[in-house]
Structure 1
Amino acid sequence: MAAEKIASTMGYLVRALKTPTIGRVCESLADQARDEAWSHEEYLTAVLQRQVADREANGTSLRIAGAHFPQVKTLEDFTLDHQPSLRRDVLAHLATTTFVAKAENVVLHGPPGVGKTHLAIGLGVKAAQAGYPVFFDTATGWVARLGAAHAAGRLDAELKRLRRYRLLLIDEVGYLPFDADAANLFFQLVASRYEQGSILVTSNMPFGRWGEIFSDDIVAAAMIDRLVHHAEVLSLSGESYRTRARRDLIAATNAGNGN
């Protein structure tokens, strides 16, 4: 009867504390503690460690899901051999996510297909794993989001809401030009984050051509000034991964056919 009462009390406490992992592992860990003669402190530490580990894992999963990455990619999966010009020391430093804690920015430049988006998502995943809220969208997606907020008279509220994300990822700046209204919205997003939250931008255009993207050299210059004041700027080069993969596939097919 005493065992049933203890189990009932434990169930209540687990629900009250919202610690389901403790309820799941406490008995098996208690058996292990008895077999291995753990102290009370060792048993309690083991139970709490399992609860914290599960909670952190669940939190990471929720943050990654909430970031709206088009797909999850990791830095560990990135082939650095294809980017000999990429500074390994800088990338390793960025992977620590201290730039997010300092509200600093990252800009990844390079032609299409060289891995900018992969690196951006990989750094975003690292930030989510470190406990930071992250949000990803393309440049056109961000402009559409801000345009809808502006049309509804809630742009300020949307910019304030976005501040809860410690890192915003803006992919594909430069693939499509923006008109003056869109450029102004984009500038307001960058300005609202200045020294308040981090932005990671990928672009196929060098800064010298951002005036073409945003239809205004002055707006572009003001935007760049805020982005790079506290930022790491990495340049990627080389052949597109997609082009290389297609060429390799064609070569393998021809070799298989005896050509």
Structure 2
Amino acid sequence: MLTHPTSERLIALGFTGMAKALDEQRHAPATFDNLGFEERLGLLVDREVAERDAKRLTARLKFAALRQAACVEDLDLRTPRGIDRAVMAHLIDGAWIARHENLLITGPTGLGKSWIACALGHKACRDGHAVAYHRVGRLFEALAIARGDGRHARMLKALARTDLLILDDWGLAVLTSTERRDMLEILEDRHGRGSTIVTSQLPVEHWHDAIGDPTLADAILDRLVHNAHRLPLAGESMRKRAAAMKPLDPTGRA
């Protein structure tokens, strides 16, 4: 005879959270005896919902493949780098993602552009959005490989379906003709259907030159810039600041 047939049946039906909560109630009767049937059932349902939400979040974060383990609660607003608190609060709220608007984060290296993008991506995952992170150079390499083995169209479709696409390190090199066409395809498919975060060391005013072809540059920037929020960062590199504050090794090593 099964020791706890109800728990085993719940597990068999996929209600593992309810099964765990039922076992907890069974092993601590004094804690739950004063609760009515509906209250105890409600606790079981709440546990199941919480566990399923946690599993979905884990899956979204795995798919997002964010470069850094960043979250908005850890955002440093004390270091001077031009972050407006009201603007950042609006971005953290996330309503702009539901409106399919974009975000352009620019500034010199070391100011945390990628970190902020990943933190906003993490928050979007928590809000139930599908997120994907890509460094621009590696994305183009992956698309080139996909074109060779027949996965190119499928990969573009996956990028189009993503609620929030993070393109990190834009503008490190002038785009090739193939890369320009790929970027236009990505942004055309996403225009009005998804949001895109772009980080770049280049000011937005120089992006036209970084794309290369004037006609395609106009088309790409028309789909990327005109409905975008901008977060220009300025100041001293945070990595340099952190290194300066790090105590010296007593052995004299760097």
Fold conserved (TM > 0.5)? yes
* Percentage of pairs with the same residue: 30
8 Å Cα contact 2:81/2:235 also seen in 1? no
User: How is 1:109-258 mapped onto 2 (pairs within 5 angstroms)?
Assistant: 109-249=106-246, 252-253=247-248
8 Å Cα contact 2:184/2:216 also seen in 1? yes
**Higher helix share goes to which structure?**
1
Measure the CA separation in 1 of the matches of 2:31 and 2:115: 48
CA drift of 1:154 comes to 4.3
- Asked if 1:28 corresponds to 2:24, the answer is yes
**Cα gap change, 1:151 to 1:35, in 2 (>3 Å):** closer
Secondary structure in 2 matching 1:219: helix
Secondary structure in 2 matching 1:117: helix
CA drift of 1:36 comes to 4.6
Secondary structure in 2 matching 1:253: coil
User: Runs of 5+ in structure 1 lacking a partner?
Assistant: none
CA drift of 1:35 comes to 4.5
8 Å Cα contact 2:32/2:40 also seen in 1? no
Taking structure 1 as the reference length, the TM-score comes to: 0.88
Measure the CA separation in 1 of the matches of 2:54 and 2:249: 46
User: Runs of 5+ in structure 2 lacking a partner?
Assistant: none
1:33-65 Cα distance to aligned partner (Å, 9 max, x none): 774511111111111111111211121122112
Give runs of ≥4 in structure 1 deviating > 4 Å: 30-36, 254-257
1:231-255 Cα distance to aligned partner (Å, 9 max, x none): 2111111111112222333xx4399
CA drift of 1:181 comes to 1.7
The alignment yields a C-alpha RMSD, in angstroms, of 2.3
Taking structure 2 as the reference length, the TM-score comes to: 0.89
Measure the CA separation in 2 of the matches of 1:76 and 1:181: 39
Measure the CA separation in 1 of the matches of 2:217 and 2:30: 63
**Cα gap change, 1:215 to 1:98, in 2 (>3 Å):** same
1:149-188 Cα distance to aligned partner (Å, 9 max, x none): 3334543332222233211110000123222221221121
**Cα gap change, 1:153 to 1:143, in 2 (>3 Å):** same
1:187-218 Cα distance to aligned partner (Å, 9 max, x none): 21111110111111101111221133222233
Secondary structure in 2 matching 1:81: coil
Measure the CA separation in 1 of the matches of 2:198 and 2:138: 13
**Alignment partner for residue 44 of structure 1, among 41, 45, 52?**
41
Measure the CA separation in 2 of the matches of 1:216 and 1:192: 20
Secondary structure in 2 matching 1:111: coil
Secondary structure in 1 matching 2:78: helix
Measure the CA separation in 1 of the matches of 2:250 and 2:90: 42
1:58 match: 55
**Alignment size in residue pairs:** 251
Measure the CA separation in 2 of the matches of 1:10 and 1:248: 55
